Structure 1
Amino acid sequence: MNTKVFETPIEYLKGVGLHRAEILKKELQVFNFSDLLNYFPYKYIDRTRFYKIRDIQPDLPYVQVLARLTHKEIIGEKRSSRLVAQAQDDTGLIELVWFQGVKWIEKTLIPGKVYVLFGKPTFFNGKVQMAHPEMELYSTEVQQRKGNLTLQPAYNSTEKLKQFSLDSKGIMKLVAALLEQQLHDIHENLPLYIINQFKLTGRAEAYKNIHFPDNSTKLNEAQYRLKFEELFFLQLKLLKNKLLHTQKFKGNIFDTIGEIFNAFYHHKLPFPLTNAQKRVLKEIRLDTQRGVQMNRLLQGDVGSGKTVVALMSMLIAIDNGFQTCIMAPTEILANQHYQTIKELVGDDFIEVGLLTGSTKQKDRNVLHQKLESGQLKILIGTHALIEDKVQYKNLGFVVIDEQHRFGVEQRAKLWRKNTIPPHILVMTATPIPRTLAMTLYGDLDISVIDELPAGRKPIQTVHYYENQRLAMFGFMKREIAKGRQVYIVYPLIQESEKLDLKNLMDGIEVMAHEFPLPQYRISIVHGKLKAAEKQFEMNRFIKGETQIMVATTVIEVGVNIPNASVMIIENAERFGLSQLHQLRGRVGRGAEQSFCILMSSHKLSHDGKIRLNTMVKTNNGFEIAETDLQLRGPGNIEGTQQSGVLDLKVANLVTDQELLIKVRKCVESIFEKDPQLASPENLILHSSFKTKQDGLTWDKIS
């Protein structure tokens, strides 16, 4: 059979033609038979039965329920409002929620009336929920209605498509015509041993049943097969790239642990390393002895000691005759690394240079000269490090901090600073859930520092409502009396008519009244200050000349003040979990007990409550990241929006985490036994990979 038939332009499908083809291309990016086949239904209409609420299971795609509306209310205001309602039958209660058309829908709902509800059920804390259900009042006509005894697919359409009779039913007819015509051309792309091992349905069968399932069992089997396939080829690509990288890019061998490393470890290291830090150093040590370029992601929570691990890795490189650098996304963070490393190594041990946009030309010239001669061994800076003028004698080890803030091309420029590319250590203080890391950074080795240094006390976090503000002020005064310093963070600089928030300017007025001069002094830092003004205010706080810093989120990264023991976050419900966790990490840097107070209004959304409760419950950044992934989905996690690997058609990194882990292990096992995919049983995978290399995407029909 001719498998290239799925590359046939869509206009050649019976029932399409030139005009419909143009609109399908513009509105749905459906260019050929393969694109249409992979345009999956967004829901399935089952009007063959009514479910009792207690009989609803999490794996049911869509259900129809007969229930009496008992309650409705609009929560939140304006753009952030949602409509929440409750309905019940004789077996239980279901919660209904709408985020769009809130006011219009609310007017149509009549408490006390019986409705036919139709939608996708979800479960939260054991309760059944349904978002944006279709609803109609129960009537005799509804009672007598009979379905077609199958699940009917529903496809997303647009107003322009509907003008060409391509609503959901119109698209359904085209898909049906395509399947009838080409089903026999959908060939298998996985080896038989994998299909048997994971009990997968056949590929052609899966495509038939994801579009036109006979029942929910067939639909689940089809979805499982296509999810597996999608994740499998994604991991195959990532791990194959990783393998090719190790074959293609040679790396300098660091075979010496020398005088500089040992002197630092035995005489300058101010605290014992944690077991996690030792483990990561060992992983880096092994990587740099293999003769291939290291590409490692180092994840570690705020304050876990990533910088010390990076420094000690750099000292190994220096002992082996190489230069090193750290690239940070902002001048504040670059300065922070510079100060930290200078304090750790001291003035007489090893020279450390700083290069940012603010570095004067005279100082730049000296830095350039020292770099080219090989005299300067550690250079810290911003993207100024990748300028063409910056030339190293022998760059061997590069640390990139918060790498999602740099583009791929920016990072690649550092590679080209040496004939043999330097080893790369990428650091992030934003903990990434395991499944997301396997997908976003699947071609990197991953190290995790999952314990805090000894003596660090966990930050105590509490949630206060607006009516507890005086108690919060009293607590602040007691901490300041002990000699401590306090951050107060606001989400806005000036009042907004759209958002009812406490803002920084109002906050300063309240502070001035509650904390009068000369006993209390306040620093003010926000994004609209000039750089020099911002630095002046920060320096006052760093030196202890002010006790309170009122700020916007500009202090999120790059500020390390051990004496600051209290973080107060105003309107905490307006911040994302990742941001709340980063802000909290600004305190707890010293030996004293530190505190984080989350201030909020009484009006909290469902997600807002979960976020604040999560912060109170745990200091573990990875637990917080998992909750964040559950709430926001993978596409909204910081730094992932630009990543094409998240454009998944059927798989979902939130709900399919277990499957992804299974798939990853399966692919790792395949490459372990057969790195070239050359064995007879894997030739089908080799063929698929070659197809990908030739420019076709994984979802093309092979």
Structure 2
Amino acid sequence: MDTPLAKVVGAKTAKALAVSLDLYTAGDLLYHFPRRYDQRGEHTNIRALEIGEQVTVMAQVIRTNSRRFKQRQGNLLEVIVGDGLGGQITLTYFNQAWRERDLRPGRWGLFAGKVTEFRGQRQLNGPEYILLDGDDWNEEMEAFAGAHIPVYPSAAKVPTWVIARCVRVVLDTIAMPADPMPSEIRAARKLLDLPTALREIHRPSAKEMLYAARRRLAWDEAFAIQLTLVRRKREAAAWPAKPRPLVKGGGLSTFDQALPFTLTDGQLEVGEQISADLATPHPMHRLLQGEVGAGKTLVALRAMLQVVDAGGQAALLAPTEVLAAQHFRGITKLLPLEEQHRLVLLTGSMGVAAKRRVLAELASGAASMVVGTHALLYEGVDFHDLGLIVVDEQHRFGVEQRDALRAKAEQPPHVLVMTATPIPRTVAMTVYGDLEISTLAQLPSGRSPIASHVVPAAEKPAFLDRAWQRLREEVGKGHQAYVVCPRIGSDSAEEDQPPSETDDDRRPPIAVLEVAPLLREGPLAGLRIGVLHGKLPADEKDSIMRAFAAGKLDVLVATTVIEVGVDVPNATVMVILDADRFGISQLHQLRGRVGRGSAPGLCLLVTEAFEGTPARERLDAVASTVDGFQLAELDLEQRREGDILGAAQSGRRSHVRLLSLLRDRELIGEA
């Protein structure tokens, strides 16, 4: 399995596999499993292909058209292929008219390339192909004469049939590894032996054997993840930590008595779980999940006060300066006057003198609570006795960042991680398997419902006009609105921009700096409009948020800096432009910024994605429910699970290939 591929498939092919797919050894290749299995005459759904995707399509040639260029030398061959279901895509070849002899109408083939768009038509430009009834097919795929044709995750320089040929060579020449799983466990679990599973996943002899191979290899992955997490949990439990028990009659009691509202049953129950954890001589590792607006910050503040009562310090780490400043203001309002001097704010953009004063207070213990951003992770930030770290919005902070903060204490501090992105049970068992989990499901009273609608701007432009009218109507009633864009603009390197793998062949996402002046002069003329994004100086961001919170602005045009924690109860409508450029959980987070007061909220998802595309289906799903747990399951279906599960395997290359968090629930439970 450790044999270099160059010795098996030749230096040139081995180099292509290494550069394009990160495959170096025979083992790497055998664990590069097919993405799917096609059958002759089976269809790829062409309508579902997304711009920018690297695809392998099984399709039939419908017609060809070859023409010479009028303005310059050369010719263009256009080949229309279809999936038999009405979906079509154009293949384009420049100065390769001879391919017309190959690509005759009626012939089926596998066509591999990147989906691009030209004048509204989707196309594959110069795709590699292999015809299913040609000589090259017989030569390349003779060993795969069975009913199932494996289609591998591939690259432009290494199409699927080249990978299939290399796999065949490896299977025929390399000795298979011994199975590390004892035969009695295999028999009890009804699992195939490893050599058979590896052969059948690549060259299935029957559909039943393919399922059995997939089950065995997915079981191995689930078991490996559980081993990693059990080890991590044991290591953490073995560390000593300073107990921070509840002090009767301390600051927490005073705080609870002064609260102008009653804590929900959920807040009290989760509070008791955290309080018990803090009193133990081992570090707490707890994840607090709850819907947007469930009152997680209040639960965290009560934990911070318990630690301070017991003589320690507590740090709350927020993902953005906007949110850190808001947490600081919100907590200051909640704290009794005599406690307020013990809370400090630390961000990267603070002035030198202010920062020096805060650092001195943290080091001496004069400041017992700090709210901050990544600045808390830097060298030179020392604590007198750090007892608790609260991390807000887990998905914004990597494992390394949490570890850096842990290192600030002599003994590992207790850690509470908060997230408003609900986590499906199977993800909880895998990615967060080393954390105890608490859930706040109950919303505080006084929250209003949020209605969400998709606005198909390309198909029905009049709907977009109506969206701006609705926004004006809400402002007319004395309410406020957000307009969210995926990009800042002016071509700066953009940390606010949502990650996307498929933007390269589409127009750039709509930008804040471009859309704000158009709205001022157009549909929102006369309204007081502010602009907020991550590249603004910290004091400017803070003053804009304060102005919006105070009702001095009607509309805030912003990037996702408002995604987490921003709390303006008077804001009732949000228009999200290019909504298809955001993920499901991100849209759910954004939507949670409206409907935080007594008036109902409205979220309008503006998109140019057409009906029937995965992007549009994603938006329809977000519009159809406000149940974050249901959306989390859907997000899981649509994201590459290797990315999610890979997070459970700290930093090493993820070995998750087959395990599905939805499909393999029972298998994960078994492991």
Shorter-normalised TM range: 0.7 to 0.9
Report the equivalent of 1:562. 569
**Is residue 394 from structure 1 mapped to residue 385 from structure 2 by the alignment?**
yes
Q: 2:165 aligns with which of 153, 162, 169?
A: 169
Q: 2:478 aligns with which of 456, 467, 483?
A: 483
Alpha-carbon separation, structure 2, partners of 1:167 and 1:262: 63
CA positional deviation for 1:635:
5.5
Pair 1:663–1:238, CA change in 2 (3 A): farther
Equivalent residues in 2 for 1:151-230, closer than 5 Å:
151=148, 168-178=164-174, 182-183=175-176, 186-192=177-183, 194-230=185-221
**Is residue 255 from structure 1 mapped to residue 259 from structure 2 by the alignment?**
no
Is contact 1:371-1:391 (8 Å) kept?
yes
Report the equivalent of 1:575. 582
Amino acid at match of 1:436: V
**Is residue 246 from structure 1 mapped to residue 237 from structure 2 by the alignment?**
yes
Amino acid at match of 1:485: Q
Is contact 1:302-1:429 (8 Å) kept?
yes
Alpha-carbon separation, structure 2, partners of 1:365 and 1:294: 31
Pair 1:647–1:383, CA change in 2 (3 A): same
Pair 1:527–1:323, CA change in 2 (3 A): closer
CA positional deviation for 1:22:
6.5
CA positional deviation for 1:33:
4.8
**Is residue 665 from structure 1 mapped to residue 669 from structure 2 by the alignment?**
yes
Alpha-carbon separation, structure 2, partners of 1:539 and 1:323: 28
CA positional deviation for 1:629:
2.6
Alpha-carbon separation, structure 2, partners of 1:161 and 1:574: 29
CA positional deviation for 1:223:
1.4
Alpha-carbon separation, structure 1, partners of 2:614 and 2:666: 30
**Is residue 292 from structure 1 mapped to residue 282 from structure 2 by the alignment?**
yes
Q: 2:463 aligns with which of 468, 476, 481?
A: 468
Alpha-carbon separation, structure 1, partners of 2:129 and 2:397: 44
**Is residue 339 from structure 1 mapped to residue 329 from structure 2 by the alignment?**
yes
Pair 1:42–1:632, CA change in 2 (3 A): closer
**Is residue 314 from structure 1 mapped to residue 304 from structure 2 by the alignment?**
yes
Give deviations 1:286-327, integer Å, cap 9, x for gaps. 322332111122222321211111111112212222211112
**Is residue 508 from structure 1 mapped to residue 508 from structure 2 by the alignment?**
no
CA positional deviation for 1:40:
3.8
* 1:486 alignment partner, SS class: strand
Alpha-carbon separation, structure 2, partners of 1:430 and 1:639: 18
Gaps of 5+ in 2: 45-56, 64-78, 113-123, 492-504
Is contact 1:440-1:643 (8 Å) kept?
no
Is contact 1:404-1:639 (8 Å) kept?
no
Report the equivalent of 2:624. 617
TM-score, structure 1 normalization: 0.73
Give deviations 1:467-503, integer Å, cap 9, x for gaps. 0344334433332233211112233455999628765
Is contact 2:271-2:299 (8 Å) kept?
yes
Amino acid at match of 1:434: R
CA positional deviation for 1:422:
0.7
Q: 2:633 aligns with which of 613, 626, 634?
A: 626
Pair 1:385–1:530, CA change in 2 (3 A): closer
Amino acid at match of 2:292: V
CA positional deviation for 1:224:
1.0
Alpha-carbon separation, structure 2, partners of 1:260 and 1:103: 77
> How many percent identity over aligned positions?
34
Alpha-carbon separation, structure 1, partners of 2:18 and 2:609: 48
Is contact 1:157-1:166 (8 Å) kept?
no
TM-score, structure 2 normalization: 0.76
Is contact 2:482-2:558 (8 Å) kept?
yes
Alpha-carbon separation, structure 2, partners of 1:7 and 1:306: 49
Alpha-carbon separation, structure 2, partners of 1:154 and 1:604: 27
**Is residue 546 from structure 1 mapped to residue 556 from structure 2 by the alignment?**
no
Pair 1:637–1:452, CA change in 2 (3 A): farther
Is contact 1:436-1:634 (8 Å) kept?
no
CA positional deviation for 1:274:
3.0
Amino acid at match of 2:290: G
Q: 1:499 aligns with which of 502, 507, 518?
A: 507
Is contact 1:491-1:503 (8 Å) kept?
yes
Is contact 2:197-2:212 (8 Å) kept?
yes
Is contact 1:68-1:87 (8 Å) kept?
no
Amino acid at match of 2:385: N
Is contact 1:66-1:114 (8 Å) kept?
no
Give deviations 1:173-192, integer Å, cap 9, x for gaps. 232111xxx24xx3332345
Give deviations 1:324-371, integer Å, cap 9, x for gaps. 111223221211111111111132335211112233344344434433
Pair 1:137–1:442, CA change in 2 (3 A): closer
**Is residue 34 from structure 1 mapped to residue 33 from structure 2 by the alignment?**
no
Report the equivalent of 1:272. 262
* 2:391 alignment partner, SS class: strand
Give deviations 1:573-603, integer Å, cap 9, x for gaps. 3333233222212212222222212233474
Report the equivalent of 1:125. none
Alpha-carbon separation, structure 2, partners of 1:27 and 1:469: 42
Alpha-carbon separation, structure 2, partners of 1:35 and 1:562: 53
Alpha-carbon separation, structure 2, partners of 1:597 and 1:25: 45
Alpha-carbon separation, structure 1, partners of 2:215 and 2:111: 21
Amino acid at match of 1:282: E
Pair 1:115–1:315, CA change in 2 (3 A): same
Amino acid at match of 2:507: L
Is contact 2:485-2:577 (8 Å) kept?
yes
CA positional deviation for 1:430:
3.1
Report the equivalent of 1:126. none
Alpha-carbon separation, structure 1, partners of 2:561 and 2:162: 49
Report the equivalent of 1:692. none
Is contact 2:219-2:668 (8 Å) kept?
no
**Is residue 417 from structure 1 mapped to residue 408 from structure 2 by the alignment?**
yes
Report the equivalent of 1:676. none
Is contact 1:392-1:417 (8 Å) kept?
yes
CA positional deviation for 1:397:
0.9
CA RMSD of aligned residues (A): 4.5
Report the equivalent of 1:74. none
* 1:232 alignment partner, SS class: helix
Give deviations 1:105-137, integer Å, cap 9, x for gaps. 9x99xxx976657799xxxxxxxxxx9998969
Q: 1:232 aligns with which of 218, 223, 228?
A: 223
Pair 1:373–1:258, CA change in 2 (3 A): farther
* 1:348 alignment partner, SS class: helix
Is contact 1:251-1:288 (8 Å) kept?
no
Is contact 2:447-2:597 (8 Å) kept?
yes
Is contact 1:85-1:95 (8 Å) kept?
no
* 1:358 alignment partner, SS class: coil
Alpha-carbon separation, structure 2, partners of 1:177 and 1:419: 55
Report the equivalent of 1:684. none
